[in-house]
Chain A
Amino acid sequence: MALPETGATTVPAASSTKVPRRRGFSVFGIRVLIYQIVLLVGFLALWEYAIRAEWLPVYLYGQPSGIWRELVKGVESGALLRDTWITAQETVIGFIIGSVAGSIAGLALWLSPTTAAVLRPLMVALNGLPKIALAPLIVVWFGVGMESKVAIAAIITFIVAMLTSFAGSQEVDTDYIKMMKSLGASRLQTFRMVVVPATIPWIASAFRLNIGFAMIGAVVGEYISAEAGLGHHVYYSGTLYNLNAVWGGIFALMLLALFLDAIVGLVERRLKWQ
């Protein structure tokens, strides 16, 4: 089972890539949509046929009709919804704690260059570390319940938010700082009136990255040790070679990820000034 790899976090530039917005339906847009539907339906039909014709074993690949049955069963029994709810809570709580605390910590380092200099080697090390590697430790410390998943998500997102907001605060044009100084501004005034607002776009970018990291953290935590949640569902079904249930869980994770990303995307857009 391939785990999503977080790898080293590269600090994002303070700009978002602009995706052209679809306005109404152009002829081009409709054509693209038709191709997409044909491709998806074709792929599912081929997959289904390959299983039914016994080209591929169902216990290794699953089967679209079987996945659908699993999804319906999961929704009707409430088990899938319960797992989704648990993973969503772990992700969101961890994300909020980690992102907010991390952003504040990164910004605060601007106020104390000495602390920042002392912590620099640690930050370089954390930046290079695939942060998900910390997960087993955190499970050992926080146990098998939801707390450990929240903690994994919080710690990963804390590191990302801190590094990003610190990097952003260091990128503030020194001429602004000089100008504030010449106006007679205290360091705290400069911080409040220039550094914090100038770093907000970086923080917004970190939030966008972090919702993904928080979910990876929660799910990997569930893989390692849990009694509920979508990660637990996927992992447990995998050990039973119930590939349909695995795919059902992955599908639910995908929907949850899209939903959370859309919400954070809205927040991100509001936080970014032009």
Chain B
Amino acid sequence: MQEDRATVLAAENVKMTFNADTPEEVTAISSISFKLGQGEILGIVGPSGCGKTTLFNIIAGLLPPTAGMILVNGKRVQEASGHVGYMLQKDLLLPWRSVIDNVTLGLQVRGVPAKESKEIADNLIKAYGLKGFEHTYPAALSGGMRQRVAFMRTLAFSPDVILLDEPFSALDSQTRLLLQADVIRIIRERNCSVVLVTHDVGEAITMCDRIVVITSRPGRVKSVHTIGIDPSLRHPLKIRKQPRFNELYDTIWDELGIQFAA
């Protein structure tokens, strides 16, 4: 399914060692490679401590890897430069900015004229269900709405790649399902290329086209799974009824090697 897509993001033998050549030397990531195609959603799943956050920071250009490299549209990422938009568990909305001013933040950083960025933000807000809240401040919004605003802020400056790091894990389960469904829909509509870092296997299967399973520290790629479930059946509530969902769920859990005291 993804073979014919242009590669937007590539990780090539990325390695990360902290405190190199000291007694506290820790290799967080031994070697990770993967490719993300245009319009693809790639899940990265691993046990806690597999270096997910480290990998996330490397992709975002916030942390230079010890070895290997990240390529965005064939160009090597040297530093954070707005090529990647990300969304975390924390919404990171600026409390002194209204919804619309939070959405335009990335555009403002890039020096997009105020009028133009306002228009972009206005369209996003209207299209994705926050109309009427443009001038509300984050403190007055629910957790789900705040994450929606954070997502729009990410979309607004059309980054090449969107990184999602457990973006729904702080939400209650109803809000989470609703937001997952909306985010999938929006990502598909806009043909965004997305890397989703999560420890929630179900969430990864629901949202992604492919899943890369990472081993525990030092992290390396253990396996890659193509989901292969028709997009029309991808609704968070429907997908759980698919036999393929359960099959993948069990396989990936097994691969994560997490032991349950039965």
B92's contact among A176, A273, A274, by CB below 8 Å, is which? A176
Q: Are B82 and A175 in contact, with the CB atoms below 8 A?
A: no
Q: How far is the CB of B174 from chain A (nearest CB, A)?
A: 26
Total chain B interface residues with beta-carbon distance under 8 A:
25
Q: A175-194: contact bitstring with B at CB < 8 Å (1 yes, 0 no)?
A: 11011111111000100011
When distances are taken between beta carbons in the complex, the residues of chain B under 8 Å from A175 are 88, 90, 92
Q: Which residues of A contact B49 (CB under 8 A)?
A: none
> B80 at interface (Cβ–Cβ under 8 A)?
yes
Q: Would A184 and B86 count as touching, CB distance under 8 A?
A: no
Q: Does A197 contact B (CB under 8 A)?
A: yes
- Assess whether B109 is in contact with A185, with CB atoms less than 8 Å apart: yes
Give the complex CA separation of A189 and B57 in angstroms: 21
Q: Which of B60, B96, B105 contacts A273 (CB 8 A)?
A: B96
Q: Which residues of B contact A189 (CB under 8 A)?
A: 109
Q: In the complex, which residues of chain A have a beta carbon less than 8 angstroms from the beta carbon of B82?
A: 182-184
Instruction: For the complex formed, measure the closest distance between the CB of A216 and the CB atoms of chain B, giving whole angstroms.
Output: 32
With known contacts A175-B90, A179-B92, A193–B84 Cβ distance under 8 A: no
Complex-state Cα separation, A184 to B80, whole angstroms: 6
Mark each residue of chain B from 73 to 100: 1 if its CB lies under 8 Å from any CB of chain A, else 0.
Answer: 0000000111111101010101110000
Residue B106 at the chain A interface, CB threshold 8 Å:
yes
Among B61, B62, B94, B95, the most chain A Cβ lie within 10 Å of the Cβ of B94
17 A-B contacts (beta carbon < 8 Å): A173-B92, A178-B60, A181-B80, A182-B60, A182-B82, A183-B109, A183-B157, A184-B80, A184-B82, A189-B109, A193-B105, A197-B94, A198-B94, A273-B95, A273-B96, A273-B137, A274-B95
Query: What 19 new A-B contacts, CB under 8 Å, besides A175-B90, A182-B84?
Result: A175-B88, A176-B94, A178-B62, A179-B86, A181-B80, A182-B85, A183-B82, A183-B105, A183-B106, A183-B109, A183-B157, A184-B80, A184-B81, A184-B82, A184-B109, A194-B94, A197-B94, A200-B96, A274-B95
Interface residues of B (CB under 8 A from A): 57, 60-62, 80-86, 88, 90, 92, 94-96, 105-106, 108-110, 137, 139, 157
